Amino acid sequence: MPAIAIIGAQWGDEGKGKIVDLLAENVDVVVRFSGGNNAGHTVVNQFGQFRMHLIPSGIFHPNVICIIGNGVVIDPAQLLKEIDALKESGIEARNLYISDRAHLIMPYHILQDGLEEEARGSRAIGTTRKGVGPAFTDKTARMGIRICDLLDAGDFRKRLSFVLEYKNRVLTRLYDVQPLSVDELCETFAHFRERLAPFVRQTDAIAREALSEGRKVLLEGAQGTMLDLDYGTYPYVTSAVSGAVSLGLGMAPTSIEQVVGVFKAYITRVGGGPMPSELHDDCSEMLRERGHEYGTTTGRPRRCGWFDAVVGRYAAEVNGVTGVALTKFDILDTFETVKICTAYELDGSTWKKPPASSELLERCKPVYEEMPGWQTPTDRIRRLEDLPRQARDYVRRIEQLIDCPVSLVSVGAAREQTIPVRKIV
Ligand code: IMP
């Protein structure tokens, strides 16, 4: 039952889209199991450059079934936009299935996201304001509206009327904004129903059946471990680690055979919250400009820093990473020296694991190891042994520090700009 999970091992934006697009060639099913359209996966292939937010990056392979699992929160307008944009580039979302159990991001969630951020003031999370957090809140508060509710106009109106009565009280009394109208929402969602109904399936059953038939299933994680609600830098978090797969898709944890941890060769973060190896100097600018480190979803400049091996080892342990995909390696090509954060120093003691408290992590000082740079372009290299010695040393040192073997090194956005090290699929 070969399921392979692709997990972000830092603060998101590690380049998971490219890795999924690459591996999807050899699998039968690709599944998104968490997050929402806060995610932004950039894929560059023979069809062009795409920014995927909800649709699994396997969609470019015509024989691959792509599933948006029940663990994802879906903004129907955004999903339709993505389906239409793909169509314009000649890609039909013929094999796209949406879980009937997935929750909807409703217009009031998007409103709430903005209003809550404003209310947080200087303690704002820096969310993408796409309504993802409020939709997940309502899911656990049992106030959510699901895709299966959308399918029947009568049931949808009943459910929405019940929920909206409460939501409108919050909007008008707490935030002093105009209430939303049930009729208007029903009208908008009638259009979504018509267009999305053909894609809806019991996707958990489809995934389990595929696994029992021995077909290969690739699980496309969104965001990163340090943004996980439990294991990340709470409260500056969203979702989800590899353990979320069972909940977000409906398969047993034992189905996962491999966990590929995607790590950028340096580190970035977008939004608020602690980041011990963040740089505020020329190196930061160089990383941002060379790596085009601007948010795929919001366009915000990403915060940049050196590879954080404390985060790296922690993420590898939490997710049970079996192999590392080291991405954007070529971005480091011009640096005279490169640094790796090997530990944190806090009030005179050394930390090898990130503390749970974001307040403490904020005060952690990075302990660096400095290595010579390779100052040679690597974007055309396709074999590990052809990398300059200093670059190989850097790869090896990361393997040692996070105690996990590297499976591939990515040296550019295109599929072929990949150095395979160990077979994944
Ligand atoms: P939300 O998911 O929009 O609620 O945002 C919560 C935090 O997660 C913010 O710091 C966002 O910038 C961050 N975040 C959400 N999605 C992504 C992503 O795909 N990549 C990187 N950061 C993300």
Which CATH number do you get for residue 279? 3.90.170.10
Paired tokens of 289: 């400009």
Q: Which atom of ligand 1 is nearest to the CA of 270?
A: 12
Give pLDDT, residue 59.
94
User: Tell me, what CATH number does 170's domain have?
Assistant: 1.10.300.10
Dihedral (CA of 140, 159, 189, 177) sign? negative
Distance from Cα 165 to the centre of ligand 1, integer Å = 29
Residue nearest to atom 20 of ligand 1 (CA): 12
* Cα 284 from chain centroid (whole Å): 22
Indicate if 274 and 387 belong to the same structural domain: yes
Cβ(246)–Cβ(204) below 8 Å: no
Q: Which atom of ligand 1 is nearest to the CA of 13?
A: 20
Distance from Cα 277 to the centre of ligand 1, integer Å = 19
Catalytic residue check, 13: yes
Residue nearest to atom 5 of ligand 1 (CA): 127
pLDDT at 218 over 80: yes
pLDDT in tens, 351-365: 999 999 999 999 999
121, part of any domain: yes
Q: Which atom of ligand 1 is nearest to the CA of 222?
A: 19
Last residue of a domain, one of 156, 173, 196: 196
225, part of any domain: yes
Q: In the predicted model, what is the mean pLDDT of the chain?
A: 95
Mean pLDDT of 98-124: 97
Indicate if 223 and 180 belong to the same structural domain: no
416, part of any domain: no
Paired tokens of 37: 């359209």
* Spatial separation of the C-alpha atoms in residues 7 and 203, rounded to whole Å: 20
Distance from Cα 381 to the centre of ligand 1, integer Å = 33
Give pLDDT, residue 231.
93
Give pLDDT, residue 143.
96
Q: Which atom of ligand 1 is nearest to the CA of 239?
A: 2
Dihedral (CA of 211, 239, 355, 369) sign? positive
312, part of any domain: yes
The pLDDT confidence band at residue 247, using thresholds 50, 70 and 90, is confident
Indicate if 152 and 185 belong to the same structural domain: yes
* Cα 287 from chain centroid (whole Å): 20
Indicate if 314 and 376 belong to the same structural domain: yes
Number of domains in the chain: 3
Indicate if 232 and 309 belong to the same structural domain: no
190, part of any domain: yes
Indicate if 187 and 207 belong to the same structural domain: no
Q: Choose, from 21, 28, 41, 228, the residue flagged as catalytic.
A: 41
Task: Please choose, from the candidates 422, 291, 289, 311, the residue with its C-alpha nearest in 3D space to the C-alpha of residue 366.
Answer: 311
User: Tell me, what CATH number does 21's domain have?
Assistant: 3.40.440.10
Indicate if 26 and 87 belong to the same structural domain: yes
Indicate if 145 and 186 belong to the same structural domain: yes
Task: Please choose, from the candidates 201, 287, 216, 226, the residue with its C-alpha nearest in 3D space to the C-alpha of residue 256.
Answer: 216
Last residue of a domain, one of 144, 174, 196: 196
The range of the structural domain enclosing residue 118 comes to 104-196
Residue nearest to atom 1 of ligand 1 (CA): 127
Residue nearest to atom 19 of ligand 1 (CA): 39
Give pLDDT, residue 240.
60
Indicate if 75 and 218 belong to the same structural domain: yes
Q: Which atom of ligand 1 is nearest to the CA of 127?
A: 5
Strand partners of residue 298: none
Indicate if 239 and 92 belong to the same structural domain: yes
18, part of any domain: yes
Task: Please choose, from the candidates 367, 415, 42, 26, the residue with its C-alpha nearest in 3D space to the C-alpha of residue 218.
Answer: 26
209, part of any domain: yes
Indicate if 92 and 163 belong to the same structural domain: no
Q: Which amino acid is at 268?
A: T
Distance from Cα 9 to the centre of ligand 1, integer Å = 14
Dihedral (CA of 348, 352, 354, 357) sign? negative
Residue 48, class by beta-carbon neighbours within 10 Å (0-12 exposed, 13-18 middle, 19+ buried)? Answer: exposed
Strand partners of residue 30: 66, 218
Mean pLDDT of 64-75: 96
pLDDT at 49 over 60: yes
Ligand 1: list residues with CB < 6 Å.
12-13, 38-40, 125-128, 130, 132-133, 222-223, 227, 236, 238, 270-271
pLDDT at 297 over 90: no
284, part of any domain: yes
Distance from Cα 6 to the centre of ligand 1, integer Å = 18
Indicate if 245 and 292 belong to the same structural domain: no
Residue 43 has φ and ψ, to the nearest 5°, of -125, 130
Dihedral (CA of 278, 282, 377, 341) sign? negative
Distance from Cα 1 to the centre of ligand 1, integer Å = 32
The pLDDT confidence band at residue 1, using thresholds 50, 70 and 90, is low
Q: Give the C-alpha distances (Å, rounded to integers) separating 380 from 148, 260, 294, 397.
A: 48, 24, 24, 22
The pLDDT confidence band at residue 242, using thresholds 50, 70 and 90, is low
